[in-house]
Structure formats: C-alpha cells, structure tokens
Structure 1
Amino acid sequence: MISPSGSTIDEAKAFLEAHPEIEAFDIVLIDVNGIGRGKIIRRHELIGLYKGGRHLPISILGLDITGEDVHETGLIWDQGDGDLRAWPIPFTLKPLHGTNPPRGQVLMSMFHLDGAPMTSDPRLALVRQVEVLAAKGLHPAGAFELEFFLLAGERDAEGRVQPANAVLDGRSSGKTEVYSVDHLHGMEPLFSDIYAAARAQDIPAETVISEYAPGQYELTLHYRKDILQAADDLIMLKRIVRAQARRHGVTACFMAKPIEKYAGSGMHLHVSLQDDAGNNVFAEAQQGTWSPTLLHALGGLAGTMAESMLVFAPHANSWRRFVSQSYAPIAATWGVNNRSVALRVPAGDTNNRRIEHRPSGVDANPYLVATTVLAAISKGLAEQFDPGPETTGNGYEQGNTDHSMPADWRQAIEAAKASEFLKHALGEDLHRTFTAIKYAELLRVARTVSELDYHLYLHEV
C-alpha cells in the first residue's frame, strides 16, 4: 500500500546506497510522554519497512512513564492489544553518530491497518492542527530551546544528584556559571560530538550556553518555516544529547527540576505565523502599534493556559519548577522583552515578530506542546481574544487575576480532563489517552512511600 505518512521507498534506497556501512536502524515512535518506543531492525529490513510499514501493538501508545499499561486509555484489552501499522516519517531517516557498529534512526507515526491516522499518536495531532491553520491560509513557523542538566553518574553523600565534572579534565564546579564561556570549554569534547551528531541528522543546532544553575546548559535550534520539523528537531536533539552524554560517562537530565535549590529546565517554543505569500502576520503594520493578529494570538494563549498546563507541565516533578523569580512563569501574563512573563514578545526586527511561549518544561512532549499552542492561537484568532494589558517590570509581583492557574499537578489533571478546549485541540482519543495516563501516574506517585516520608515522620510521629 502507499505509505500514509508520505514516505517513499526511494528515500530508503538512496540512504542505503549512501551509507553502506550502516548495519541496523532504530525505528522510533514517540508516545505521549515523549518517550521513544520501537525496535532495532537490521539493514535488510529497511526496504520492507518503507514498503509496508511495521506492525506495532496499539498498547505502545497507552503506556505510562514506566512502560506499564494504562487500561483506562482504552488502548489495551479494549482493543485486544492488536497491532496497528507504524510508517516512517519522511526525511527523518538519518545516521547516528558514534555508534559501533554503525546504526541509523528513523522516526515513525502510527496508522490503522487501512492507513487512517491513529488518533492517539501525538505527532499526528500536531499534523491536524497545522492543517487547520493551513485551511485558513496560515502556516506556523517556530523553534524550540533545549535546557538540560549534565549530571555525574554517582549521587552525593545524601543521595542527591550532582553536576557532572568537566569531561575535558575532570574539573568540578558547584557554582552557577551562567554564560561562562570558559566553563563551556570543560564540556567541549561532549558538545563537539553533539554538534557532529546533529550535523549527521541535518538538525540545525546552534548556540550553546552555560545556564542559570550548576551543570545546566542550553542549546538553541535554528528557526524552521515548518513547525512540524521544529518539533522533530527537538525530539531528535534530545536523543542525541542523551546518547552522547552517556558515551562521555555523564547523564543528560531532562527533568524539569532535578536540583531543588536551583532553577529548573524549560523548553521555550518560539512561534510565528506566515500567510500564503510568506508574510509574517504577527508583524505590526506601523511602528508603535501591535498587530491585532499578534494580540489575539496572545489572548488565545493566555485564555487557555490554565486548562492546558498539564501539557506544559505533565509530571509531578514539573510543578517544582514554578517558583517566583526562577525564570519560570507563574501566571498567564504577556510582555515585551520580559523574561518574568509566560508569553514573551522578544525585541528585534519587526519582520521577525514572534511569541516566545515559556511555560513548558523540558520534560514536556514537544508535539503536544506545539499542538496545544497552535490550537490556542487558532482559538484566539477566531474569537478575537483580548490578552489584557501588557505586563511591564517584575511580572512575578503582578500576576494575572483573569486566568487563575492550577496550584499543583492534581489540579492540572482535573482541569485538563474537564477542558473542552484541550479535547478539541488534541482530539477526543488523544485527550482521553493523555489524561488517563497522567491520572494513573498521579496515583502511582500518591501511593509511593518516599525517602522524604521517612525523613519527616519515621522517628517523629
């Protein structure tokens, strides 16, 4: 059958001809938690993958963070745990850097056996939102920023994670080396391999900085005209960073808040809209007057943020990141050139006007984040939402009383389950899958007796 993803056998043949050294391939399907699940196939199986897809169990999209089935998704025994068919995503077939023996990788999307989209596949939800905007003559462009920690393999004496020593010479630093170029030099061998792996996969990784915590770094990606490609970039870059860090003996950590006394890690999404002629519709027509399109988009994002926070902060640990004056937003505010707000309009050339969406942690799924952001923008434009007054100065002191945010993970789950907007944004099936998985994870956390319980109560009550 013809691939419903748009992949072609010619792409596979050309790749095999160009890379005779590659012996095997990771085939990777991204679930709602952003985890890559799939198989490793041998070289001779690649053409068959492109000819007929690959059978994978439907339950692969109904797993929690630990890989356990969540029956409430309706994707396990309700479906007899039958097979669906995963197909390669065009132009994601790439070599992996530093593997021995040499391997490649291809991202996959899930379809029914008749070729219909599987509606609990996160990437296909983003495809649908891109198509909704395209029908209106609008085309989203964007880029994600990737913040993460590099951690040592061993914990400290109290069992806490600690920043990795420099891979160049083993030097340690417990300081917040924010923007220190000399500090980056200690990780130069690792970042050189990350950049080499990114080049091999045509991922436009750009600037690296030492971020606002010991062991924390940020990598930026070049702006893409296609937001689907931007989300694919982020997925593949996370896999690269994790793999290359492991080869250098350190751990790449994508928890939102791995170290309690320091800033957490965000995954900011920069987004703009172009019309059919390629014009940026967020750009103001005359200096000093905001584009109504930009304001309505901001209004849609602010007005739906509270019920969408589970997408942007999907785990128990995600909620530890939202602390005043931590560079993580705590209210649905917007402002210009202001990092204390949730929706930042960066300074710069009018023609490059965009929104920086700042609530998401690096532990969020970029496909779900982009899907929800586009749906909110679309709603804001359709209903001409007013974003309210611009926040100036310290946004942590002002907040936004019009859009109260969930206080914690449980409230976020409840808000997401009840949200008609989120159900429309993700689609009913993915909405059910996502919220069921999050509720199952909440119950897992709630029933777990942690080390903190023993510390607080073992000898005191």
Structure 2
Amino acid sequence: MTLSPSGSSIEEAEEFLAAHPEIEAIDIVLSDANGIGRGKIIRRHELIGLYRNGRHLPISILGLDIVGEDVHETGLIWDQGDGDLRAWPIPGTLKPLHGTTPPRAELLMSMYSLEGVPMSSDPRHALKRQVEAMAGEGLFPAGAFELEFFLLDPDMSAGVRPAAAVLDGRRSDWTEVYSVDHLHGMQPLFSDIYRAAEAMGIRAETVISEYAPGQYELTLDYRTDVMQAADDLVRLKRIVRMQARRHGVTACFMAKPVEKYAGSGMHFHVSLQDGTGRNIFAEAVEGVWTETIRHALGGLRQTMGESMLVFAPHANSWRRFVGQSYAPVSPSWGVNNRSVALRIPAGEVKARRIEHRPSGVDASPYLVGATILAGIRRGLAQRIDPGPETTGNGYEGTDDLPMPRDWREAIDRATASEFLKEALGADMHRTFTAIKAAEHARVARWIADVDYALYLHNV
C-alpha cells in the first residue's frame, strides 16, 4: 500500500461509498494557476484505487493558459517530457454534488511527485507553504473570502444583460443594491446553492443584491484554517456555476463583465491567532491599534504593487480599477472605509481583522492567500509602518507606493519581484508569470471589435 502524502485515507473513501450507494461517478478536481478546475470524472469502482495509489496526471496540467493550451515557457511541458505526476485526494473534500443526474460526487486533489514530494507549481501547495511558515513563527491565520458574481442571461445575441428571475421570469435592468424583494426572484436558485454548499460542509451565509444589475454576493463563514477557507471559495464557485446552469442562467466570475457598472471582487478577511487561539490583531483599547495589525498593514502596503498580478491576473481584471467603483486604486488603508485597499472593518474588538480588497473574483484564492500571508509576514518581520490612515475618499490624492498602471506593467513587476518569488515559491512564480506573459501575448495579437469601430473607416 502507498502512503498518501496528502494525509488521505482509504477509510474515508470506504465510508463515503457505504453512506452514498447512489453515487455513480466522482469529479476529481485539481486547481491550476488560473483557478480553473482540471481533472477527470471517474467511476464509482475506481475510487478506492485512487485513494490507495493516487492518480497519475500529466505535469503539463499545471502549465496551461486560460483556454487550456500549453505554455512552454513554464518549463512544465516538453522540458519534462510531459511525464506523469501523481495527484492525491485532499482529506475531507469527498462530498456529494447536489442535483446531479446521475448522482455524482466531487473530490479536490493536489499534485505530488511520484515519490510523494509536493509539486511546487501546484497553487494549493503555495498557500500551504506560507501557512506552515507562519506556524513555525507561532502564528495561525484565520479568514474567509467573499464571493461576488453576476447572474447573466445565457443568450448573448442582444449583448450582456442580467438574467431574468428564475422564479417568475421578471427582469430588472436596475442596480437593485441591497433589495431584498429583488433577491426573492432568484430564491429557487439560491436555495439550491445553499443545499449544495451544506452537502459539502461549506457554511455559506448571507446573500445580497450587489451594486450592479444582476450582481450578487455570498459570504462564507470565518475559518480558523485558511486552507479550508480557500477550498471553500473554490468549491462555492463551482457550486454557483453548476446550480445556475441547472436553472438556465449563466454565473459570471469575470472581474468586470459590464463597462458601466461595478466589477466583482474577492475580498479576503484575515486575522492572526497565537498558540492559545487569541486574536493578536485585537487591541486592548478599542481604536488604539496593536503594533501587530499596523505592521501587517505595512507589509501588505509595501508589497501590493509587485503583487497585483496575483490579485488581478487577467486582461479583464484591470477594467475593474476605476475611481468611485468600490475597487481600490492605491495601496491605502483605513478604518470602516470601503474606498481603501486595506480596510479594518467596524465590529467587535475580539473579531478584529484586515479586509484585503484588491483581488477580483477571477483570481486564485490559493495564490491570493499565499501572497497576503507572505506580505503580513514581511511586515511583522521588518516592523513596517503603514503610514497614516486614509480617511474620507480614498480615491482622492496620491500615494508614495504606486500601483501598476496596467496588466503589462503588473506582469513585468511580478516577474522581477523577489518578494513574489519567495511568497509563491520559485517554481510557482515562474509558472504563473510565464502563463500570464503568454496570455498577454495572445490578447495583444487579438483584433478586437473596438479596432474596427475606431479605425476601419477612419485611417
């Protein structure tokens, strides 16, 4: 018997099969650098063998671009002969999928060498590496991601427009922010999302109608294990997409799908605990910030510019950053202020945390989490001062720590960043930046409709 390097056990598979005799197949899912689920659908009888021996998958699966084509510059394709590595189950992630016909389950996987060494271009290992480094320093991060997304009409012939209510077909092109009555029209879909999340052990919580027509937000329960927080986000995105499709609408996780409306973020709330479970961000006197939270803010501010490619990884991601849009345009910090990049939310002192706001919903939660934890670690180690708090409108004024102006500059800064190389690991850094450079080249070659609109009859 091969000992699983992920800590998975055959007993988990045996107990699951016994408890779910209806399950006929299992989606085995590995997240790549873009957060896309890659893998296979196996049959029920294959599950025990997978838990016993892992599953061979080609190394190139982690060197793919957004459309699933090889990026040779990653060094993961022909440099390696596109040999097989071995994927192993992530303990606790074998769960039934709600509403599938025939009944299926889902299992998250992580990649290792044939000898059981963590594969260094697997994004999940990048986050785990930072979590373990923090544990070695006596610190234990806790957190949760927020999920913003659009529900769109699948018929794109008339352009991008919000999906009609699945309850009665009513359509609204208004923003409808915080409208409870508007939510009622999508209640059958959200009920299925909640049922699917519950079946997977995901504690999905509040849903709101967000600040654009057809935009919504789901919050997740705060986890004392940020690995689980990232897994929750990965799985919830798949749940929303699957359940939306069942109801005849399209779930959209682009950062900016509609030009004139706000984009979709993936804010990460994070705090630090010591070995006793005490929140070390919590101040003794309310409003008198601890040195710990100030240094954490300082590290996040200092490293944000060179890390923006992780938080905004695609061409479309950069359309989200405009003034007065609830997306930050500078590495500012503030208290109870949604115009800044790093927000200390209002609330009980014991729940003190930092809300990291730059990331779009199109980013990988594993890479986002790894980069944020590394930034906090740097701030604490170097005792970095965050500078003065931003009050009022964070979109006004300038900052002495400039952000990249566009996707190309973000790629260049990330590629040259020694901090990001340490945060992600050298191999993950090379893989990620090579994929982004290849995707930029693809977009740069594309003759878009705007070219014809501007130049066809005018030059």
> Which category describes the TM-score, using the shorter chain as reference length?
over 0.9
**Which TM-score applies when normalising by structure 2?**
0.99
1:195 aligned residue:
194
Q: Which amino acid aligns with 1:308?
A: S
Deviation of 1:200 after TM superposition, in Å, equals: 0.5
Q: Secondary structure at the match of 1:217?
A: strand
Distance in 2 of aligned mates of 1:44 and 1:385? 55
1:324-377 CA-partner distances (Å, limit 9, x unpaired):
000000000000000000000001111110000000000000000000000000
Q: Deviations over 1:55-91 (max 9, x none)?
A: 0000000000010000000000000000000000000
Matched, 1:61 2:62: yes
User: Is the aligned partner of 1:33 residue 2:34?
Assistant: yes
Q: Match of 1:403, as an amino acid? A: L
Q: Distance in 1 between matches of 2:398 and 2:70?
A: 39
Paired residue for 2:139? Answer: 138
Equivalents in 1 of 2:220, 2:54: separation in Å? 30
Q: Give the deviation of 1:154 after TM superposition.
A: 1.0
State the alpha-carbon separation in 2 of the partners of residues 353 and 453 from structure 1: 49
Alignment of 1:417-432 (within 5 A): 417-432=415-430
Judge conservation of contact 1:333–1:399 (CA < 8 Å) in 2. Answer: no
Maintained 8 Å contact 1:120/1:433: yes
Whole-angstrom distance in 2 between the partners of 1:362 and 1:440: 21
Q: Matched residues in 1 for 2:457 and 2:174: separation?
A: 35
Q: Is this contact kept in 2: 1:156–1:162, CA < 8 A? A: no
- Letter of the 2:324 partner, please give it: Q
Q: For residues 279-358 of structure 1, what are the structure 2 equivalents within 5 Å?
A: 279-358=278-357
1:123 alignment partner AA: R
1:174-193, aligned counterparts within 5 Å?
174-193=173-192
Which residue identity does 1:392 align to in structure 2? T
Maintained 8 Å contact 1:308/1:372: yes
Residue 396 of structure 2 aligns to a residue whose secondary structure is: helix
Q: Counterparts of 1:90 and 1:372 in 2: how far apart (Å)?
A: 24
In the alignment, does 2:92 pair up with 1:94? no
- Give the structure 2 partner of residue 224 of structure 1: 223
The two structures have a TM-score, normalised by structure 1, of 0.99
Q: Distance in 2 between matches of 1:166 and 1:348?
A: 34
Q: Distance in 1 between matches of 2:334 and 2:3?
A: 47
Partner of 1:129: 130
| Residue matched to 1:154 | 155
Partner of 1:80: 81
**Contact 1:32/1:121 (8 A) holds in 2:** yes
* CA distance in structure 2 between the aligned counterparts of 1:134 and 1:56, rounded to whole angstroms: 31
CA distance in 2, matches of 1:238, 1:33: 13
Native 8 Å contact 1:73 1:436 kept in 2: yes
Pairing of 1:381-396 with structure 2 (within 5 A): 381-396=380-395
CA-CA distance at 1:285 after TM superposition: 2.3
Partner SS for 1:396: coil
Which residue is 1:443 aligned to? 441
Q: C-alpha displacement at 1:452, in angstroms?
A: 1.1
3-state SS in 2 of match to 1:398: coil
C-alpha displacement at 1:399, in angstroms? 3.8
- Counterpart residue number, 2:24: 23
Q: Deviations over 1:142-187 (max 9, x none)?
A: 0000000000011253xx2111000111101000000000000000
C-alpha deviation, 1:451, in angstroms: 1.0
CA distance in 1: counterparts of 2:279 and 2:368, whole angstroms: 21
SS in 1 for 2:170: coil
| Deviation of the 1:298 alpha carbon | 0.2
Q: Secondary structure at the match of 1:110?
A: strand
- One-letter identity of the residue aligned with 1:250: V
SS of structure 2 residue aligned to 1:242: helix
- Aligned residue number for residue 414 of structure 1: 412
Give aligned-pair identity as a percent: 75
Q: Which amino acid aligns with 1:354?
A: R
Q: Give structure 1 stretches of 5+ with no counterpart.
A: none
* Separation in 2, partners of 1:168, 1:161: 21
CA RMSD of aligned residues (A): 0.6
What SS does structure 2 have at the residue aligned with 1:208? strand
Aligned to 2:171: 172
Aligned with 2:17: secondary structure?
helix
* Secondary structure of 2:380 counterpart: helix
Letter in 2 for 1:69: D
Gaps of 5+ in 2: none
Contact 1:330/1:399 (8 A) holds in 2: no
Alpha-carbon distance between aligned partners in 1 of 2:361 and 2:34, rounded to the nearest angstrom: 11
Residues in 2 aligned to 1:209 and 1:321: alpha-carbon distance in whole angstroms: 20
Distance 2:368 2:196 in 1: 25
- The answer to whether the 8 A contact 1:179-1:210 is kept is yes
* Displacement of 1:287: 3.2
Query: Partners of 2:166 and 2:346 in 1: how far apart?
Result: 36
